[in-house]
Amino acid sequence: MPRGEKQLNKIQHLGAALESGALAQVRRIINSDLQPADVAHILESSPPKERKLLWGLIEDENEGEVLQHLSDELQTWLLNQMSVQEVANAMTDLDADDVADLLQNLPNTVTREVLTTMDSQDRARVEAVLSYPEDSAGGLMNTDTVTVRPDITLEVVLRYLRRHRSLPDMTDNLLLVNRRDEFIGLLPINKILVTDGDATVREVMNTDVITIPADMEDSDVAQLFERHDLVSAPVVDALNGKLLGRITIDDVVDVIREDADHSLMSMAGLDEDEDTFAPAFKTSRRRAVWLGINLLTAFLASAVIGLFQGTIDQVVALAVLMPIVASMGGVAGSQTLTLVIRGHAIGHIDSKNVGWLLNREFLVGLSNGILWALVIAIVTYLWFMDLKISIIIGAAIIINLVVAAFAGALLPVLLKRMNIDPALAGSVVLTTVTDVVGFFAFLGLAAGFYL
């Protein structure tokens, strides 16, 4: 049976044991049979009461491994219920970058207390990671590395490696440094295995290496890994070239997933770490903020409609057709907005090509506007047998689709310059623009034709 199917069966057995109240069996399954990532998934998939019960059954030595796979919100909730010593014990066998991630979810006073419980070497490693922003390469790196000098033979390297109980996870290369700890190249593990042991490291090392400065943003790191198919990469000090640590693909996958979650949730005005089973009051409080913002924009659109109250009273068909204009603009704008936000996220869009993109979106909006204006005008004429209103709605559709496409391309650029997340605010602003412009164009043209 494939390993994935076995894990699924174990999770199903856990559910059955939990329902029957067989807590001894539940304890055995979550501590012995399941991987920490699977236990974390079960915790995140459980309502609060059941979640608290499951966490209490996890053995102390497994808590750290499970914690590192949980969302920030759930991590914080659990860590705040633990004593300083319990937190320190849970982090004993974790890598420095994972410890730093957990500590960043705790108050500074607690973080300092936890650090004082560590030995000097572990504390120095964690503090090195904590000294960098969480969303930078320095905050993402692991300081646990294997380094060698270029002037020794491969046989000496092999003897050195055999002295280790194990190598750090994802070790595909050894890192080469000089006597000042400046990074100079990589020694691939496969070279050690297939090359004569009398050869020196300098003869087989790779100096054409991608290095990552510690202050690089984590999203840029993810793009580098994707573009060059990296498994790991060295992190260096941008000023003096000293080796600080390395980033591995498992950390980059987490960044990619978090960025995807952020983009998806932000478009609904939600936090990417939103707990699916958070209490009702906490959830409603978070959503209320963006509902309030949306209400203000809705009042603005309604105010535009109110300006043409007399025209709507005179021509009732306008009230029937208004949603079509707003809806078409909203969809056209959302298509462009999503495309441009994605382009920014993967590094395709910058100041050099944004002008071309705006021109392209203008032409797309104009061509789609003309096409659908003709279709809607014909349908409107067959519906109301009124040529004036057919021309009005056709012209309004063209105007709104052009504005929507242009706004969808321009808004992310403007919002980024204002240090506002386009994924979070873009859809709200775009909806306001398309509604206001659509209603104003449609009703303004109608007022000119009928009054």
Cα pseudo-dihedral 337, 282, 293, 340, rounded to 10? -10
Given a contact cutoff of 8 angstroms between Cβ atoms, the answer to whether 182 and 240 are in contact is yes
| Mean pLDDT of all residues in 179-204 | 90
Given a contact cutoff of 8 angstroms between Cβ atoms, the answer to whether 401 and 368 are in contact is yes
C-alpha–C-alpha distance, residues 170 and 167, integer Å: 9
Q: What percent of the chain has pLDDT over 90?
A: 17
C-alpha–C-alpha distance, residues 77 and 296, integer Å: 33
| Mean pLDDT of all residues in 375-383 | 92
Residue 401: pLDDT band (50, 70, 90) is very high
pLDDT of residue 349: 79
Cα 291 to chain centroid distance, Å, stands at 23
Of 393, 437, 268, 406, give the one whose Cα is nearest residue 333: 406
| Mean pLDDT of all residues in 416-443 | 84
Given a contact cutoff of 8 angstroms between Cβ atoms, the answer to whether 86 and 56 are in contact is no
**Sign of the Cα pseudo-torsion (93, 98, 102, 108, in order):** positive
Given a contact cutoff of 8 angstroms between Cβ atoms, the answer to whether 234 and 156 are in contact is no
Locate 244 and state its tokens.
């600080």
What mean pLDDT value characterizes the chain? 83
pLDDT digits (tens, 9 = 90+) for 68-90: 888 878 888 888 888 888 888 88
Of 208-222, 260-274, 345-359, which range is least confident?
260-274
pLDDT digits (tens, 9 = 90+) for 218-258: 888 988 998 888 989 999 998 888 999 999 998 888 888 77
E runs forming strands in 91-151: 147-148
Locate 255 and state its tokens.
């960044």
| Mean pLDDT of all residues in 361-380 | 92
Cα 191 to chain centroid distance, Å, stands at 36
Using only C-alpha atoms, the chain has a radius of gyration, in whole angstroms, of 29
Given a contact cutoff of 8 angstroms between Cβ atoms, the answer to whether 328 and 399 are in contact is no
Of 112-126, 268-282, 309-323, which range is least confident?
268-282
C-alpha–C-alpha distance, residues 348 and 413, integer Å: 13
Of 414, 425, 418, give the one whose Cα is nearest residue 294: 425
| Residue 322 vs residue 273, higher pLDDT | 322
Domains in the chain, ordered, with CATH?
3-140 (1.25.60.10), 147-266 (3.10.580.10), 280-450 (1.10.357.20)
Residue 398: pLDDT band (50, 70, 90) is very high
Helix, strand or coil, per DSSP, at residue 102: helix
| Residue 269 vs residue 108, higher pLDDT | 108
| Residue 336 vs residue 315, higher pLDDT | 336
pLDDT higher than threshold 60 for residue 1:
no
C-alpha–C-alpha distance, residues 237 and 210, integer Å: 14
| 89: number of Cβ within 10 Å | 16
Of 72, 83, 74, 73, give the one whose Cα is nearest residue 54: 74
| Mean pLDDT of all residues in 201-219 | 90
Buried-exposed string 149-159: b where 16+ CB fall within 10 A, e elsewhere: ebeebbeebee
| Mean pLDDT of all residues in 402-423 | 85
